[in-house]
Structure 1
Amino acid sequence: MKALKQLQIVAVVAVLMWMLATSTFLPSRNPKKLDCDSRCFCYKTWIKFRHSYEHIVEMRCTHLNLTEDHLPLPPKLSSNMSTSLYLENGTIPYLSNTSLSVYSPYKVVILSLKNNTIEYVAKDTFGNLMHLKTLDLSENIIHEGTLKEAFYGIALTPLKKLNISSMNLQNVSDDFFKNLKRIANFNLIFRDNTHMFPMTALMRLNHMISLDFGRNNLTLIHLYNASFTSLRYLNLDNNHFYDFPDFCFKESNSSRFPNLEILKIQWNEMRYIHRFHYNCLTSLTHFYLNGNLFQELRSNQFSMLPNIFKITLSYVGCAMRIIERAVFNNSALKQIYFRNNHIWFRNAGINLRVFEGCSSLELLNLDYNIVQITREDGFNTLLGHLTQLRTLIMGGNSLPFIPRVITERLTNIESLALYSNDIKDLTPLKNMTNLKKLFMGSNQITTLDESSFQHFRRNLTKINLSNNPFSCTCNILWFIEWMREESNIFSFKTNPNFTSLYMCLRPGDPIRHRLLDLEMSDITCLLGMDVKVTTLTLSILLIVFLVTGAVMYRYRWHIRYFIYMVRYSQRQEVDTREYEYDAFLAYSAPDRHWVIKTLLPVLEGQEDLKLCVHDRDFEVGKLIVDNIVDAIEGSRKIVIVLSNEFAQSEWCQFELNLIQRHVLENGQRLLVVVMLEEIDTRHVTKAMRAMLQTTTYLMWGEEEYARKAFFNRMRMLLRKATEHGGERRLSV
């Protein structure tokens, strides 16, 4: 339900912003020219109005002089069609009650009388235009009292939009708009008029839904008990506000603008932005704050706006000293524009967690800030939690490389713009499978690896890699062919001059060459004889290497046994002592089955060796520690059977410590290590690591040849002394 509500809000905002364009209608791209008055240009066109299309006749006339001429008439066919009249930039000093009566037979929906030096307008001038929806009187010099009376006739029309900008309206009275108070869904444009304005005058417009009050040199605005329950769009751009206006009733924490959806308060002189001045705007979806002089942004600056969709905070960085953690913390927020602030993200007062809490963010624009972070963990802190991003723009950020967090965690990105940085390598992009638009122009890219694009190349609808210092080598031949085959995604069809932005340099040649002008013979990518010989030689060496590797792997146990026999014959010593046992076996309880069923039948049955096995040979009633020590002392050799169970057994680790101590004190004794399986590194203790680093071990394998090699080595190590004395080897 919340997602549906947000979609509905976005749709309403889109329609509203469309209505606030220079015309209520959107002109067609293919108008049909019509014959009309020689002083004008007339067209018939399809126009989209609200949710449907209709024909409309548009007549544009400039530099009319009504002191000498009459008003021009639209084409005849316009009597049954909606008509828009633009009578601008002329001389029409006087409009009587009958001046516009020539247009009463027509369905005039738009009338612009902009900049005609109009000084007087009669009370009923516009009363006969029964279809009028948009009226533009801007840039004329009509007196406030005269204009107030003219509103009487305007109120008789179905007017929806009135532009009275740039008219030097300095002395507006409280009842200035009294004749317009009954107009529903009213849009007022009141720009560039005054530095003082009584809000009581606006309060008469109870049904106003849009107010453009920009460029009026206001230093403050007194709202007092003002309440505009219908207002959905408010523009206060380009004034001189030093303090942020208070849109809330402090006593009740309610809003003066309960249904306001779009608030523009850009290019003022505000130093501080206090959230309790606007956190009551619970319907706000678009918040434009560009071009102010904010010195600090505090935590949870926008967290109290439940329906916020877009925030723009660009061109505000010159005086910025403090940016706290989670400034934009709001799960409803979809778009953030934080561009051209030139903020150095390494400064002490700038917290890298500024976007924390934006769990639904889909667009982030960080153009032309200084994100010269050299460590990946810094980028991870800044961006790592924005996993829902679809569009990321970080142009002009002094990036030396593509941060790994973008390619590994922000995998939903469809549009990536990293232009005007110092990036040289595009290889990390190969994981961006959802990428559709890529803008990497003006970096330091000299060559391109085709594999970097293989996972998203088919999805791309737009790509820009212009103004990079490419090298004219065979490595970019594939890229040149791609540009020729799919010129549309490089924008070459719409802008052919764009091809001149893709240039390259040959080694030792100062002249730049256009990539698309290079031919195969120019790039010299055909293989010569030397290259063929080199390729053949390398191929043969590779085949020999692979065959040798396969043979060595197949006979790896035999090779190990041969190497061991050579080393063993070179490292013998004589031990003439008499021992009770040929070897003491140290193993864990879970490995008892392997010892009894596999090891003992061969060593005791076939080799006639006497082994000390604690389950069988330890003296009953004697301390186990004493049994272990006596067994070690009474055995010619010690065999340790290593496994993960042995590594995890505290008792086996104690037994290992006793063995290692004895071996260190009696260097002539032999230690034999059997590795039943690969030991998990989590279980390897310091004692085991030291033993494995200094002792060659026997590896048990289930293959027949591996088992045979294992017992051959075990026989060698444990065989009994000859008549010349017991054979002795240091350690394996």
Structure 2
Amino acid sequence: MVFVFCLERYKCHAHICEIHDLTANCSYKELRNVPNDLPDDMVVLDLRFNVIHRIHDDVLGKYRYLKSLHLDYNNISFLPTNVFDGLEHLQGLFLTNNNLDFSVSYEVDVFRPLKRLERLDIRHNMKKGYTSKVQYPLFENLPNLKELSLDLIGDPGFDNCGFEKLQNITKIVFENCDLRLILNNTFSMLPENLEEIHLRKCNMIRSIEADAFRSLRNLKTLVIHHSNMTLESALKLLYPFENKHMRMIQFTRVNPGYKCPVETPSAVILTRQMMQHLQKICFNTLVLTENGIVDFEPKSLLWIQYPECIQNIELSGNRFSLINGFKLTELWDISRKLTNLISFDMSYNPLSYRNVGQNIKNFPENKLSSFNSFFWKNTESDKPLCLGKRNYVTPARESSVQTIHLPLPPNLRQIRHRHYLANQQLRNKIVFLNASNLIYLDVAYVIVRNFPEIELKGENNIKYIDFSGIPSWNTSMSLFANSTTVILGFTGIWQTVQHTRHYFSFIPEVEELDISGNQLWQLRYDTFFYNQKLRKLIMQGNLFDELPTALMPLEKLNFLDFSGNILDSINATMRNWLDKQQKKNGNFKLFLRGNIFKCTCGTKDFIRWLFETNIEFDEPNKQYKCMLSNGSITTTVKVYQKFHDHFSICHNEIWLRVGIGLLVSFITITVPLAIIINFKWQITYWFYRKFRKAVETELKKKFVYDIYLSYSNQSLYWVKNLLMPKIENCWKMKMCLEDRDISVGDAYVDAICDSIQQSRNIIFVITKDFSDKHWGRFEIERAKYEKYASNLQKIIIITRQVPVENFPTEFEHILNDVILINWSEAENENDWENLRRALIADIL
């Protein structure tokens, strides 16, 4: 009886916790206590995100083989003295985000049994607001401790923590930092062998003394992250490390502006005095990201005493430029000295943002005056930019120099310069010198007036290139000659790729290619003729309604991402090719998520192939959206599970064709005879009209909108003040307008597709600037697709004084299926009557 009871308890708990490979995952189970009926030989116990208030002192000792214990995000407020007895094998203990005030309740040695503990995390427990001395718990009986993470509250006292006994500790993370001051003796009791220290989320530091880290002789890594202190004060902490070697110095979001709820960094101008300690350190990696830096003095930022030590520099998320005035000369000198630099990152740099100037008002006037002569010029032609009480203007136009030569450090391998936003014109050509070791170049979303041509002087070994988001660039650049990974997403190549022979011949060595978001709907058969090494092709978010045959020459292709297009099936030719690729190259991956397939008699072979092929899909269960012949949406899994029910009628297709042929022949003969003999055509037409009205009434119930309206900026006034009131107020029809009914966001394309699908008709208002509309081409292609799918009743085109050369060519294949209304300038009643008849004449 007892055995049965215990067995039932274990089954019950096994249902609550997920037990696999000596790991018990009990997170998010709303447990109030630590379970005592788990297997005794567990190695990992995860109890995160429960409601445990107290741990009894005899429950954990049962699991004596535990190596990792996670108790984060509970309500634990007290730990009994013997709570960890028996856990002599524990290596990781995590107690973050509880209510454990170690400064008050834990002067006793609660961690004594944990002799093998290597990682201890007790962050986010102690409450903020302490102003007096805060004593921390005893750690001296943790001889194997390597990493310690804890809060830093009030006036911290580490003198009785036993840090001197921790011979193996190398890393301490201070988070939830609520210090007011960092004094020279604040960290004096930390272990001398410490190599890495982190200060994270320090909110109230008002003053810093330069010798605070004097006792940390072996410190190699200093990280200060998201802290409300000035960058100038933080840089003082580097004073003890002058003329010493450090692995990494990282200051990220160190700015008084990063304070909840509003996080707007104050503008920072680096001076030589601020950088004096940093310049005297031999460091490998420097990270100064998101610190609000808008400018720097000459011989300040990279004027380092030991340039040969530097291997990585990251300056992302600030707002300054290196390509400006005197900095070019300085950059030239510095680049020759950075002989071991491997990586340089200066991404996410919004130079043209207006709030740059607004934040400069926080700077002393004397610091600004020395920089204005370099970067600001008072010209009447330039628009003023308000910087506090004084008015400055945008930088003067640069000289007419057409080519700029940039010497690269000889060992530089990676340049990352993406999301560079500047209202400035770069030179027509940039020549990189000493670029033979460069293998990685990322300039995605560089938004400037004119993207320059880039040339390498010497051997070209670049393997990775990202040109995403750049609308125009020269494909003849030799930059791409040896690249194996090329990303060209959202570059607008649809304008040329569909009509250019061997378009991708400029990347003959490419193995991975991404051309997502380019509004492509067809490719020439020879598009990839010179890309025989291509293995991975990503074509997300385009307008393909079928797999292009241009893929067939790619014999090594084994990864194809076609998600987010408008595929309704895959034809037999491409299915056979995909299966051959699977057999030839093995493990072929095909991504199709985001397409809506057709599940009709014409695509039944595709549905069967989908579940029988050995190709690997992005949906492991192959559960894609599928449209039935009646217009309802289901999934391919449900259709395949009831394959016979859905496609049994397809076996009678031959007889159905014979029947339809006989019926057509009968009607062809009898109707003309009936008209000639009996003159009964009025009755036939009356029945047709009534039948059409009933069908239309039923269809209307499925529509959310009567009209989806596509228009450009030039017709915005006419649409909102004339067309919309007439249709919605007078004719009582519901319209879908892009500016009013579609929300901007990551799912904007899906929102347009859904709105057109839910509309009965679509009206295009064509003006001179319609071809410049960003989503105009997509709306036209989607309208053609919905018309083909019998979801759209009418396509109406209203032309308003548009020249023939500006009329969208995408309509040329469907002109017989659209209603064209040439709107006169006089706005007469005939135009409104023609539109009214086009919309509602058939159902009146």
Q: TM-score, normalised by structure 2?
A: 0.49
- The answer as to 2:340 corresponding to 1:260 is no
Contact 1:233 1:263 in 2 (8 A): yes
Q: TM-score, normalised by structure 1?
A: 0.56
Q: Residue in 2 aligned with 1:456?
A: 581
C-alpha RMSD of the superposition: 4.7
Describe the superposition over 1:603-648 as per-residue Cα deviations: whole angstroms up to 9, x where unpaired: xxxxxxxxxxxxxxxxxxxxxxxxxxxxxxxxxxxxxxxxxxxxxx
Describe the superposition over 1:577-609 as per-residue Cα deviations: whole angstroms up to 9, x where unpaired: xxxxxxxxxxxxxxxxxxxxxxxxxxxxxxxxx
Q: Residue in 2 aligned with 1:693?
A: none
% same residue:
14
Describe the superposition over 1:405-427 as per-residue Cα deviations: whole angstroms up to 9, x where unpaired: 76222332332211011233422
User: Aligned letter for 1:214?
Assistant: T
Distance 2:304 2:127 in 1: 49
Q: Residue in 2 aligned with 1:166?
A: 202
**How is 1:476-487 mapped onto 2 (pairs within 5 angstroms)?**
476-477=603-604, 479-485=606-612
Q: How big is the shift at 1:286?
A: 3.1
- The answer as to 2:45 corresponding to 1:33 is yes
Contact 1:325 1:355 in 2 (8 A): no
Distance 1:170 1:415 in 2: 53
1:233 pairs, out of 266, 276, 285, with: 285
Contact 1:298 1:327 in 2 (8 A): no
Distance 2:412 2:499 in 1: 30
- Distance change in 2, residues 1:132/1:349 (3 Å): closer
1:279 pairs, out of 335, 349, 361, with: 335
Q: Residue in 2 aligned with 1:447?
A: 569
- The answer as to 2:293 corresponding to 1:293 is no
2:506 partner SS: coil
User: Aligned letter for 1:270?
Assistant: F
- Distance change in 2, residues 1:473/1:430 (3 Å): farther
- The answer as to 2:521 corresponding to 1:400 is yes
Q: Residue in 1 aligned with 2:531?
A: 410
User: Aligned letter for 2:45?
Assistant: K
1:163 partner SS: strand
- Distance change in 2, residues 1:259/1:465 (3 Å): farther
User: Aligned letter for 2:227?
Assistant: D
Q: Residue in 1 aligned with 2:485?
A: 363
Contact 1:395 1:419 in 2 (8 A): yes
Q: Residue in 2 aligned with 1:58?
A: 93
Matched length: 490
- Distance change in 2, residues 1:321/1:38 (3 Å): farther
Distance 1:101 1:423 in 2: 65
2:638 pairs, out of 488, 513, 517, with: 517
Q: Residue in 2 aligned with 1:150?
A: 186
2:627 pairs, out of 505, 512, 536, with: 505
User: Aligned letter for 1:387?
Assistant: P
1:111 partner SS: strand
Describe the superposition over 1:201-232 as per-residue Cα deviations: whole angstroms up to 9, x where unpaired: 42532222112211123623235665366422
- Distance change in 2, residues 1:59/1:505 (3 Å): closer
2:175 partner SS: coil
1:304 pairs, out of 396, 408, 418, with: 408
1:197 partner SS: helix
Q: Residue in 2 aligned with 1:551?
A: none
Q: Residue in 1 aligned with 2:269?
A: 220
**How is 1:171-250 mapped onto 2 (pairs within 5 angstroms)?**
171-180=207-216, 182-197=217-232, 199=235, 201-205=237-241, 206-217=244-255, 219-223=268-272, 226-227=278-279, 230-243=282-295
Contact 2:502 2:528 in 1 (8 A): no
Q: How big is the shift at 1:468?
A: 1.9
- Distance change in 2, residues 1:512/1:268 (3 Å): same
Q: Residue in 2 aligned with 1:270?
A: 320
- The answer as to 2:508 corresponding to 1:387 is yes
The structure whose Rg is larger is 1
Contact 1:247 1:255 in 2 (8 A): no
Q: Residue in 2 aligned with 1:351?
A: 473
User: Aligned letter for 2:408?
Assistant: M
Q: Residue in 1 aligned with 2:616?
A: 489
- Distance change in 2, residues 1:65/1:269 (3 Å): same
Q: Residue in 2 aligned with 1:4?
A: none
1:517 partner SS: helix
Q: Residue in 2 aligned with 1:88?
A: 124
1:44 pairs, out of 67, 85, 91, with: 67
- Distance change in 2, residues 1:525/1:429 (3 Å): farther
Distance 1:220 1:266 in 2: 15
Distance 1:343 1:487 in 2: 47
1:204 partner SS: helix
- Distance change in 2, residues 1:346/1:210 (3 Å): closer
Q: Residue in 2 aligned with 1:541?
A: none
Describe the superposition over 1:465-500 as per-residue Cα deviations: whole angstroms up to 9, x where unpaired: 12224333456545434543468832434xx6xx55
Q: How big is the shift at 1:300?
A: 7.4
User: Aligned letter for 1:480?
Assistant: I
**How is 1:606-645 mapped onto 2 (pairs within 5 angstroms)?**
none
Distance 1:234 1:170 in 2: 24
Structure 2, unmatched stretches of 5+, are 1-22, 26-41, 71-88, 256-266, 353-397, 453-469, 660-844
